A and B are shown apart, each in its own frame.
Chain A
Amino acid sequence: MRKLTGGLILLLLLGACKFNGDKKTLPIYGNRTPVTKTVNGQQVTDTVYQSIPAFKFVNQYGDSVGSKNLQHDIYVADFFFTSCPSICPIMQRNMLAVYNAYKDTADIKIISYTIDPKHDTVPVLKKYADKLGISGNSWWFLLGDKDTVYQLANSYLVNVGEDKTAPGGYMHQGYFILIDKQQHVRGSYDGTDPKQVDQLIADIKTLKAEPVSK
Chain B
Amino acid sequence: MKTGIIACICFLLLALIYSCQSDTSIEFKQYYSAGSLVYQSHCQNCHGAKGEGLAALIPPLTDTSSLKKHQTKLPCIMQNGLKGKTTIAGKDFDGAMPAAGLTPIEIAQVVTYVGNSFGNKLGVVTGDDVGVALRKCN
Name A's B-contacting residues (CB within 8 A): 83, 85-87, 89-90, 92-93, 96, 128, 130-133, 167, 192
Nearest CB on A from B82, distance (A): 12
Q: Which of B23-31, B49-57, B69-77, B114-122 contacts A (4 or more CB under 8 A)?
A: B49-57
Nearest CB on B from A99, distance (A): 11
Does any Cβ of A come within 8 Å of B10's Cβ? no
- Residues on the B chain within 8 Å of A93, using CB: 48, 54
Q: How large is the interface on B (under 10, 10 to 19, 20 to 34, 35 or more residues)?
A: 10 to 19
B98 touches A133 (CB 8 A): no
A89 touches B98 (CB 8 A): no
Residue of A nearest to B46 (CB): A89
A87 touches B55 (CB 8 A): no
The A interface is mostly helix, strand or loop, or mixed, namely: helix
Given known A83-B96, A167-B98, contact A89–B56 (CB-CB < 8 A) = no
- Residues on the B chain within 8 Å of A128, using CB: 57
- CB<8 Å pairs between A and B, sample of 6: A83-B96, A85-B98, A86-B45, A87-B45, A132-B56, A133-B56
The B interface is mostly helix, strand or loop, or mixed, namely: loop
With A and B bound together, what is the CA distance between A87 and B56 in angstroms? 17
- Residues on the A chain within 8 Å of B48, using CB: 93
Residue of B nearest to A86 (CB): B45
Given known A85-B46, A87-B45, A89-B46, contact A132–B96 (CB-CB < 8 A) = no
Nearest CB on B from A90, distance (A): 5
Does any Cβ of A come within 8 Å of B58's Cβ? yes
A131 touches B55 (CB 8 A): yes
A132 touches B46 (CB 8 A): no
B57 touches A90 (CB 8 A): no
Besides the known contacts A89-B45, A89-B46, A128-B57, 8 further A-B residue pairs in the complex with CB atoms under 8 A apart: A83-B96, A90-B46, A130-B56, A131-B57, A132-B54, A133-B55, A133-B56, A167-B98
